[in-house]
Structure 1
Amino acid sequence: MIDLGLFLFIAAFLALGLRRPFLWVLTYIYIDTLAPQDIGWRFVAALPVSLIAFCAAFGGWLLADPKHGARFGFRQVLLTILLAWCAVTTANADFPAAAAMKWEWVWKALVFAIFLPLTLTTRLRFEAVVLTMVLTAGAIVIDGGIKTATGGGGYGVLYLFVQNNTGMYESSTIATVAIAIIPLILWAMKHGTVFPPDWRVKLFGYALIFSCVLIPIGTEARTGLLCLAVLGVLMLRDVKRRFLYIGGAAMLGLMALPFLPQSYYERMGTLETHDEDRSASTRVAVWEWTIDYANSHPMGGGFDAYRGNSFSYKLPVRTADGGNTSAVRYEDHTDKARAYHSAVFEMLGEQGWPGLMLWLWIHGLGLWQMERIRRRWRKRAGADEQWQAPLAGALQFGQIVYLVGSLFQGIAYQPFILTLLGVQCALWTWCKLADSPRGKRVRPRVAPLAVTAEAAPLR
């Protein structure tokens, strides 16, 4: 029944796209985030639903979608250059077979991030994409939140819709994404028009945020705890009663402590004792190897170049001597073919210094652009000028959370985050067009919501 339900849901969206081609863009975001082909086992698993939606989204825009308001921005140019550079390094990869496998999904994620801004030409479309991202990731988050609340969490044992630990379903990745979408949830709760803000929307929104906070606990991902702390600090910028916010956050944290399992405390305790944690020691050794590799291979080794690493490191081992004291001795450990566990070193090892500089430029420019929008639009009082600055702030916070989380996991090409970058590119282009002399002259007539998506390019 689950398989049939997923198949009918996707088929319904594809059919509705015949009338509104933009729905195919939303369908691809849904499929790329949730991966229903991995959840189902018959109809959906046997069909290339991701490729079908990908082609439909592009074809629908080329053939039937209005193009007014569509612009190709500078960050899209940078993403295109990064895509081309990845193609070059893949062709010269140290491990061609493994690189080709990763290239199969990376190029689609980059191309879609480049393409998405061309479709976001109205407020309704911005909101539709944000809602699709939030609700699709929210489906995974709600599943994990319920299991965590009922005692089903634990490191490596919190299985969500699928029985694997890859992509969005990898514990640290979903913990990072869960915290990153909280600002977008808050934005949709306050500025949404598809679901006008009322008590039902707010109740669901706060419940979803609570589930997002539970994910780092359920997965016991140390990265998730760090991301949550970073978001808590970031939100001090926008809250009106900061002391009340700090006091409330501290009280909620203290109230939650008795309900956390002992395994969670033990897992989080390794944040302070990284030198005794084999995982952390391995990561440091991999990062050192990657720097040496990049110095000798400045153009990178292509996808999965980490397969060539080999290194030794010392790990302290504590042994009890029969009393209350313990002795520490150091053992040599040799490891090889260990993943980067950091997006920064992933880019450095695979794409070399040029690829890393491009990646940092793309993200740095995004943070700067969102700050520019937030400052320019936050004091505007027009009827349709209230949502841009908060959306820029939400996208900026989500990106910062991702960047913090990416320091400790190899998610440099994570499709969900690349989609978020695509929304940033679209918002920057939209605001530039609205502020241009031509954009200021064009004041589209007020149209019903169902018509706005096609009739009002600046709304």
Structure 2
Amino acid sequence: MRDLVFVAFLMALFATGFRRPFLFVLAYAYVDIVAPQRLTYWLLNSVPVSMIAAALAMLSWALVDDKRNARIAPRQGLLLLLLLYCWMTTIGADFPVEAAFKWEWVWKALAFAIFLPLTLTTRLRIEALALYMVLCAASIIIVGGIKTLGSGGGYGVLNLMVSNNAGLYESSTISAIAIAIIPLILHLMKFGTVFPPDWRVRLFGFALIFACLLIPIGTEARTGLVCIGVLAVLLLRDAKRRLLYLGLMGGAAMLALPFLPQSFTQRMGTIGEYQADSSASSRVAVWKWTWDYAKDHPMGGGFDAFRGNNLRVEKVEMQTVGAVKDVTRTIEYDQARAYHSAYFEMLGEQGYPGLLIWLTIQLGGLWRMEVLRRRYRNADPDQRWIASMATALQNGQAIYMVGALFIAIAIQPFALMMIALQIGLDTYAGRRAKDQAFRPMGGQRRTPAPAAA
């Protein structure tokens, strides 16, 4: 029965695409984020729905869509360069079979991220994609939030509809992404036009934000707690009454503390004592190994190059009994340990060139969103949504980049869609300023915006 529901919804979505071709783009976003083929038992898991959705989206754009407003941005060129470089390292990978398996989905994610900004030519399309991304992620987050309220969750225990750790269904990944989309939710609650802001939109928005904050608790992912801290600092930047904001944040944390599961507080306590935790100690060890590996393989070892590591991990536990401190040191050995960091993932797999390209894409996004944020924050009321969305995308990317310090999500499809949204917003604003002599500052003329990045 569940299979029939997913098939019916997907078929209805595809059917509407033949009337409004841009909906094929949203259909691909749904398939890529929610992955209904993993949620069904037999109907969709044998059909290449992702490839079908991507083909329909690209064909409809090529045959039907108006391309006069489409623009190529420099960061699309960087994404293409990263795609070609990943292909090159895959050819000479240390582990060709495993590398080819990862390459199968990496090239699709990068290719669609390059294509996506070409379709984002209007405010409605930009907002529709942002809304769809939030709602697709919400379908996973709401399930996790309800289960957390009901059972308290647990590390490796919280089931998010599927039993595998792929995509957003991996606990640390969904913890980071759930916090990263909160700024986007706040933007849609204030400036949305698909669902105009009213009490129902605000109620759902705040409920979804609450569910997002529950995900790090339910998964007990330390990355999520760090991301919450980053979010709190970023929101402080635009708070009108900062002292009141800090007081409310501190009060909320104090009120929530007694209700947190004991297993969650114990696991979060290991953040400051990583040497006592086997998982954290092995991460540091693999980062050291990757650093040394890159010195000998500066061009990278291809996807899954970590499979060649052999680690010696020293675990230190300290117990205090009265005035006496008892230190216990144990040696553990590990091999083929994953990177657990997007930065070391890029360094080990794509070498220094790949890491440089990836960092340029990320930092370029932060910079371009800051440019738009400052340019349009005092604009006419009907254009302030640009500054709000730029701030939301910038904050979301900053949270992603901090979370990526501890998760190997360098080429995460959802994060790539956020980059595509940034590029689409940037090219839209640049085109309005240049082609339509747009006046962003209360009717005062300004110098045309620089080329989008």
TM-score by length of 2: 0.95
Query: Is the CA contact (8 Å cut-off) linking 1:278 and 1:315 kept in structure 2?
Result: yes
| Residue from 407, 414, 417 that aligns with 1:416 | 414
Where does structure 1 lack aligned partners over 5 or more consecutive residues? 443-459
**Residue 231 of structure 2 is aligned to residue 234 of structure 1:** no
Question: Structure 1 residue 327: deviation in Å?
Answer: 3.1
Deviations, residues 92-111 of structure 1 (Å, cap 9, x unaligned)? 10000000000011011101
For 2:51 and 2:8, the matched residues in 1 are separated by 17
Aligned to 1:167: 167
DSSP-derived class of the 1:43 partner: coil
Kept in 1, the 8 Å contact 2:94–2:301? The answer is: yes
> What root-mean-square deviation, in Å, do the aligned CA atoms of Structure 1 and Structure 2 show?
1.5
1:259-310 CA-partner distances (Å, limit 9, x unpaired): 1111011100100111111111101110111011111000000000000011
Aligned equivalents of 1:192, 1:314: Cα separation in 2: 52
2:389 corresponds to which letter in structure 1? L
In structure 2, C-alpha distance between the alignment counterparts of 1:324 and 1:165, rounded to whole Å: 44
Q: What stretches of structure 2 of length at least 5 have no aligned partner?
A: 440-453
Name the CA distance, whole Å, in 2 between partners of 1:441 and 1:241: 32
| 1:269 alignment counterpart | 269
Residue 11 of structure 1 is matched in structure 2 by 11
Does the residue aligned with 1:271 lie in a helix, a strand or coil? Answer: helix
2:176 and 2:399 in contact (8 A); partners too: yes
Query: What displacement does 1:325 show?
Result: 5.6
1:60 aligns with 2:57: no
Q: For residues 78-97 of structure 1, what are the structure 2 equivalents within 5 Å?
A: 78-97=78-97
Match of 1:127 in 2: 127
1:317 Cα offset (Å): 4.5
Matched ranges for 1:360-371 at <5 A: 360-371=359-370
Q: CA deviation at 1:403?
A: 0.2
Shift of 1:332: 2.0
Q: Distance between the aligned counterparts of 1:196 and 1:294, measured in 2?
A: 51
Gap change, CA 1:328 and 1:80, over 3 Å in 2: same
Asked if 1:440 corresponds to 2:412, the answer is: no
Contact persistence 1:117–1:422 (CA under 8 A): yes
Following TM superposition, the consecutive aligned residue runs of length 4 or more in structure 1 with deviations greater than 4 angstroms are: 317-321, 323-326
In structure 1, what is the Cα distance between the partners aligned to 2:172 and 2:213?
13
Provide Cα deviations, 1:236-261, integer angstroms capped at 9, x if missing partner: 11111111111111111111111111
**Count of residues in correspondence between the two structures:** 439
The share of aligned pairs that are identical, in percent, is 57
Preserved contact between residue 315 and residue 331 of structure 1 (Cα < 8 Å): yes
2:279 maps to 279
SS at match of 1:41: coil
The 2-side partners of 1:154 and 1:236 are apart by 30
Structure 1 length normalisation: TM-score?
0.93
CA shift, 1:431, in A, is: 1.1
Counterpart-to-counterpart distance in 1, 2:320 and 2:3: 53
Task: Supply the distance in 1 between the matched residues of 2:324 and 2:54 (Cα, whole angstroms).
Answer: 61
Q: Which moved more, 1:41-50 or 1:215-224?
A: 41-50
Contact 2:432-2:438 within 8 A present in 1 as well: no
- 2 CA distance for matches of 1:161 and 1:219? 13
Q: How does 1:4-403 map to 2 (within 5 A)?
A: 4-317=4-317, 327-381=326-380, 383=382, 385-403=383-401
